[in-house]
């Protein structure tokens, strides 16, 4: 992704040296949001350590040495005051989790349930029970709120959530969500999910699940057809190459699928799309460079007095 973003070679042996050369020229800020592979990030940070790049990585836990840690706590947690006053009585029960409290607040605000009925449900299904969790995305207080909502969603909304839980990209636009979830009215399917803050909208018209919600939903539904998702995005990008920038993460997901399936035809389709992306990036950089070059007008500059 860095190679594509900065327009250097994607060949494994050349990518890092070319990135080092590029990032050594001027200061840049690179943000790696919610990194997952500690070993890969460690190798990358070591390789780029002497460049002029400043790299910020985010994670719910960090297993890296040699980096500066800035712990972030939810607002008001250290003072014991509730951040969501509408559901203040659920604050301790939901472990001060901003995500859980935001979902609970949205449910109560839209009159999906009262604070008392939500409390009764959470206690009945064991929110206070101590248990071992699978990993940092396995938060029972959020999973139980997802379970409350799941019992009240119709089939189309559940299919939409299933697509978002298993998609390889980071967000899905409304049209793709309707197509992949096989729903005729995508707005209706996503409406209740948005009202209850079960989905996030990182950009207007695009939808995603928080990693914790994604984990909770993925345990309820099996993965949708990955071959169908590949075909959808491959065809979309072949027909509309201008959307490569917006759907870049889905292109990388398509690449992963092609290799997992050992599908040579799929690999070649992805390679052609990557070539198109490379060409698009190169043209954009050329246009940007040409705008920076001073134009000669043939006129002499006025002398200062």
Coil, strand, or helix at residue 57? strand
Mean per-residue pLDDT for 229-242?
91
- Give the pLDDT confidence score for residue 125 in this predicted structure: 94
Mean per-residue pLDDT for 158-176?
92
- Contact yes or no for 176/228 (Cβ under 8 A): no
Instruction: Give the burial class of 226: count Cβ atoms within 10 A of its Cβ; 0-12 exposed, 13-18 middle, 19 or more buried.
Output: middle
Predicted confidence (pLDDT) at residue 53 exceeds the cutoff of 80: yes
pLDDT tens by residue, 72-83: 777 787 787 888
Q: Lowest-confidence range among 57-61, 144-148, 187-191?
A: 57-61
Asked whether the CA dihedral 283, 287, 292, 298 is positive or negative, the reply is: positive
Q: How far apart, in whole angstroms, are the C-alpha atoms of residue 269 and residue 227? A: 13
List all residues 6 or more positions away from 273 whose beta carbon is below 8 Å from its beta carbon. 234, 237, 238, 241, 244, 251, 254
Q: Lowest-confidence range among 19-23, 128-132, 175-179?
A: 128-132
Predicted confidence (pLDDT) at residue 219 exceeds the cutoff of 80: yes
Predicted confidence (pLDDT) at residue 113 exceeds the cutoff of 90: yes
Predicted confidence (pLDDT) at residue 38 exceeds the cutoff of 90: no
Q: Which two tokens stand for residue 56?
A: 């910020």
Question: Which DSSP symbol is given to 200?
Answer: B
Determine if the pTM surpasses 0.85: no
Mean per-residue pLDDT for 137-166?
94
- Give the pLDDT confidence score for residue 155 in this predicted structure: 93
- Give the pLDDT confidence score for residue 275 in this predicted structure: 83
292 pLDDT band, cuts 50/70/90, is: low
212 pLDDT band, cuts 50/70/90, is: very high
Torsion angle defined by CA atoms of residues 290, 274, 245 and 285, in that order, rounded to the nearest 10 degrees: -10
List all residues 6 or more positions away from 119 whose beta carbon is below 8 Å from its beta carbon. 89, 90, 93
Q: How far apart, in whole angstroms, are the C-alpha atoms of residue 193 and residue 107? A: 10
- Portion of the chain with pLDDT greater than 90, in percent: 53
Task: Estimate to the nearest angstrom the gap between the alpha carbon of 103 and the chain centroid.
Answer: 19
- Contact yes or no for 156/230 (Cβ under 8 A): no
Higher pLDDT, 36 or 121: 121
- Contact yes or no for 147/125 (Cβ under 8 A): yes
Taking CA atoms, 282 is separated from 6, 240, 285, 286, in Å, by 9, 18, 5, 6
- Give the pLDDT confidence score for residue 299 in this predicted structure: 46
- Portion of the chain with pLDDT greater than 70, in percent: 90
CB atoms within 10 A of CB 207: 24
Mean per-residue pLDDT for 192-221?
93
- Give the pLDDT confidence score for residue 73 in this predicted structure: 77
Taking CA atoms, 99 is separated from 83, 143, 167, 200, 266, in Å, by 11, 11, 21, 11, 38
Residue 33, CB-side half-sphere exposure with 13 Å CA sphere: 3
- Give the pLDDT confidence score for residue 75 in this predicted structure: 77
Q: Lowest-confidence range among 83-97, 102-116, 179-193?
A: 179-193
Residue 217, CB-side half-sphere exposure with 13 Å CA sphere: 26
- Give the pLDDT confidence score for residue 186 in this predicted structure: 79
Q: How far apart, in whole angstroms, are the C-alpha atoms of residue 235 and residue 249? A: 15
Higher pLDDT, 291 or 85: 85
List all residues 6 or more positions away from 91 whose beta carbon is below 8 Å from its beta carbon. 82, 83, 84, 101
Mean per-residue pLDDT for 5-33?
90
- Contact yes or no for 52/40 (Cβ under 8 A): no
Rg (CA), the chain: 24
- Give the pLDDT confidence score for residue 302 in this predicted structure: 47
Mean per-residue pLDDT for 97-114?
95
């Amino acid at each position: 992704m860095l190679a594509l973003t900065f327009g250097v070679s994607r060949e494994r042996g050349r990518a890092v040296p070319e990135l080092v050369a590029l990032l050594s020229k001027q200061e840049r800020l690179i943000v790696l949001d919610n990194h997952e592979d500690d070993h890969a990030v460690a190798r990358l940070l070591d390789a780029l350590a002497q460049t002029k790049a400043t790299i910020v990585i985010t994670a719910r836990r960090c297993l890296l040495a040699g980096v500066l840690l800035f712990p972030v706590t939810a607002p008001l947690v250290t003072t014991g005051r509730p951040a969501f006053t509408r559901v203040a009585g659920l604050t301790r029960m939901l472990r001060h989790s901003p995500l859980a409290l935001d979902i609970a607040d949205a449910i109560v605000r839209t009159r999906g349930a009262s604070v008392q009925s939500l409390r009764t449900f959470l206690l009945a299904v064991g929110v206070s029970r101590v248990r071992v969790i699978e990993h940092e995305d396995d938060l029972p207080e959020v999973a139980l709120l997802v379970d409350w909502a799941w019992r009240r969603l119709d089939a189309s909304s559940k299919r939409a959530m299933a697509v978002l839980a298993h998609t390889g990209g980071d967000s899905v636009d409304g049209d793709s969500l309707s197509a992949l979830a096989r729903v005729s009215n995508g707005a209706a399917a996503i409406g209740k999910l948005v009202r209850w803050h079960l989905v996030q909208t990182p950009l207007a018209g695009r939808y995603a699940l928080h990693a914790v919600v994604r984990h909770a939903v993925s345990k309820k539904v099996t993965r949708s057809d990955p071959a169908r998702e590949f075909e959808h995005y491959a065809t979309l990008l072949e027909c509309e190459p201008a959307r490569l920038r917006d759907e870049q993460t889905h292109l990388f997901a398509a690449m992963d699928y092609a290799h997992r399936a050992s599908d040579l035809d799929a690999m070649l389709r992805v390679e052609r799309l990557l070539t198109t992306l490379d060409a698009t990036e190169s043209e954009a950089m050329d246009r940007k460079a040409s705008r920076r070059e001073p134009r000669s007008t043939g006129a002499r500059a006025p002398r200062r007095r």
